[in-house]
């Protein structure tokens, strides 16, 4: 009998964690196939039929480690393909909303979280070995020198995916940048036919619109230190008429993220919702949670002779810091110019975003080379946020490098060159005009701040051809 490893949690993040552990445990040349993975979830705690956004890394994980097919996504999980993001009322341009469209090789989807989680729970044992499913609510996690005790049962390692963590609850610190701490979510039983995640700047927060085949999920995110629930509800209702359709679900969290991914005792780890990435502007949280699951799985299974050693743990912790910086950078980039409202929420969000993006010291060891290069490129008196991309655009060597797939620069999670161009032009960045483009931008037809959820594929950008009239 090998080790016993417990995963505690219920959502799409727990699905990714279990999948990553199985994939790493059972890989070629693995010596850990005798290890038992026990997935523990409280089935009495209902997973809502809310739409969620999953990206390439999550979809690829399930595609390469299960027999879940493309048809399953559309037939079982009510999925719709997601081809990008749309920002309504964000930025400094004030004439147009804007899209950030994914490159053609990226696969992302919107799907029903409850349906995918229930299907995985009910069917995963049909394919995989040494996997135990336990339906119960965990009351306690304790530790001896070499064992974890989950409600008194011994395990060699625990992965906690429960929001706020089930143990060591004080080990959370303020996030680098996290503008909201509370969500109001509704699920309207109206078909969603747009093919992007919609972000709408509201007076006291922002709305996220996620379509699935038979419903629309709307999430109003705000900062409870600034906005009351009554104000948030009223602002939400201006756009979604909350009371008319259904009551909302309130999710309260904080502005904190976990101090660690793997505890120094090397018996306990946090993944998924337990990491604290509660603000999901841009949809990057799904990537972070899935990548974190991979890091934990590698810690457990990648070394056949010395698993779970301290050097590996430190590498995981460095990866966790990088993920936090990347997550915060992506959110901050899209709100650095504010929005259509000059309210307290947006003033604070914009100021916090600018301070974060302008902080040259917020980088991990493997980014030192980037910042050393930066010192030669950007004079010390100039501003990283405002001047870095201007210098890059005006210096051919750096611009040509940014156009490649191998670019290395501070705001690395902005994506490929085309995404940087779309975001910079859409937000109204002063340096955007310096970026050469082969294809002009496809801009939405409506005015800035006006809500238009027409689909892109098959919508206003569809190529229409004139057919010759039939002969009589």
What is the per-residue pLDDT across 277-325, written as a single tens digit (0 to 9) for each? 988 898 999 999 999 999 999 999 998 888 899 999 999 999 999 899 9
The two structure tokens encoding residue 219: 């999430």
pLDDT of 402: 86
Asked if 156 and 307 touch (Cβ cutoff 8 Å), the reply is no
Predicted confidence (pLDDT) at residue 138 exceeds the cutoff of 60: yes
Asked if 183 and 201 touch (Cβ cutoff 8 Å), the reply is no
Element spanning 121, H or E: helix 113-127
Residue range 331-351: average pLDDT? Answer: 97
Q: Give pLDDT tens digits for 231-287.
A: 999 999 888 755 555 678 999 999 999 999 999 999 999 999 999 998 889 899 999
Confidence of residue 342 (pLDDT cuts 50, 70, 90): very high
| Contacting residues for 194 by C-beta, under 8 A, at least 6 apart | 86, 209, 211, 453, 454, 455, 456
Q: What's the CA gap between 363 and 144, in Å, rounded?
A: 36
Confidence of residue 118 (pLDDT cuts 50, 70, 90): very high
Confidence of residue 364 (pLDDT cuts 50, 70, 90): very low
pLDDT of 373: 58
Q: Give me the torsion for CA of 335, 341, 344, 348, rounded to 10°.
A: 10
Asked if 327 and 285 touch (Cβ cutoff 8 Å), the reply is yes
Asked if 24 and 301 touch (Cβ cutoff 8 Å), the reply is yes
Q: Give pLDDT tens digits for 23-62.
A: 999 987 789 999 999 999 999 999 999 999 999 999 999 9
Predicted confidence (pLDDT) at residue 106 exceeds the cutoff of 90: no
Q: What's the CA gap between 41 and 337, in Å, rounded?
A: 42
pLDDT of 184: 95
Provide the β-strand partners of residue 5. Answer: 37, 157
Range with the poorest average pLDDT among 8-17, 53-62, 371-380, 389-398: 371-380
* Average model confidence (pLDDT) across the chain: 90
Residue range 375-386: average pLDDT? Answer: 69
Between residues 98 and 103, which one has the greater pLDDT? 98
Between residues 182 and 462, which one has the greater pLDDT? 182
pTM of the model: 0.93
pLDDT of 363: 46
Q: What's the CA gap between 404 and 406, in Å, rounded?
A: 5
- The CA radius of gyration of the chain, in Å to the nearest whole number, is 23
């Amino acid at each position: 009998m090998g080790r016993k490893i417990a995963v505690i949690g219920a959502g799409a993040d727990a699905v990714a964690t279990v999948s990553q552990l199985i994939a790493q445990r059972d890989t070629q040349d693995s010596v850990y196939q005798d290890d038992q993975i026990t997935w523990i979830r409280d089935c009495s705690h209902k997973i809502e039929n809310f739409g969620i956004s999953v990206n390439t890394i999550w979809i690829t994980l399930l595609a390469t480690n299960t027999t879940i097919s493309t048809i399953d996504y559309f037939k079982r999980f009510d999925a719709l393909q997601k081809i990008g993001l749309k920002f309504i009322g964000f930025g400094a341009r004030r004439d147009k909303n804007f899209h950030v469209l994914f490159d053609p090789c990226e696969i992302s989807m919107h799907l029903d979280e409850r349906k995918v989680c229930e299907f995985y729970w009910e069917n995963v044992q049909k394919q995989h070995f040494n996997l135990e499913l336990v339906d119960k609510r965990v009351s306690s996690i304790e530790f001896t020198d070499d064992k974890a005790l989950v409600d008194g049962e011994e395990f060699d390692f625990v992965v906690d995916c429960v929001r706020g963590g089930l143990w060591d609850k004080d080990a959370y610190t303020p996030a680098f940048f996290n503008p909201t701490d509370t969500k109001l979510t509704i699920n309207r039983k109206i078909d969603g036919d747009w093919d992007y995640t919609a972000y709408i700047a509201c007076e006291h927060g922002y709305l996220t619109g996620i379509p699935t085949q038979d419903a629309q999920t709307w999430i109003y995110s705000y900062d409870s230190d600034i906005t009351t629930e009554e104000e948030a509800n009223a602002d939400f209702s201006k756009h979604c008429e909350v009371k008319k359709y259904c009551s909302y679900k309130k999710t309260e969290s904080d502005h904190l993220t976990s101090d660690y991914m793997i505890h120094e005792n090397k018996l306990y780890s946090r993944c998924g919702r337990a990491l604290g990435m509660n603000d999901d502007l841009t949809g990057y949280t799904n990537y972070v949670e899935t990548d974190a699951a991979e890091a934990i799985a590698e810690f457990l299974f990648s070394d056949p002779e010395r698993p779970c050693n301290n050097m590996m743990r430190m590498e995981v912790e460095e990866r966790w810091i990088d993920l936090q910086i990347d997550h915060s950078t992506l959110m901050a980039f899209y709100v650095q110019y504010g929005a259509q409202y000059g309210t307290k929420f947006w003033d604070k969000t914009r100021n916090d975003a600018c301070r974060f993006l302008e902080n040259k010291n917020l980088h991990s060891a493997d980014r030192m080379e980037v910042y050393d290069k930066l010192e030669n490129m950007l004079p010390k008196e100039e501003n990283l946020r405002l001047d870095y991309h201007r210098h890059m655009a005006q210096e051919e060597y750096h611009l040509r490098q940014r156009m490649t797939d191998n670019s290395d620069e501070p705001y690395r999670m902005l994506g490929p060159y085309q995404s940087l161009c779309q975001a910079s032009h859409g937000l109204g960045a002063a340096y955007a005009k310096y970026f050469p483009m082969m294809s002009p931008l496809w801009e939405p037809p409506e005015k800035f701040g006006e809500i238009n959820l027409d689909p892109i594929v098959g919508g206003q950008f569809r190529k229409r051809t004139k057919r010759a009239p039939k002969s009589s």
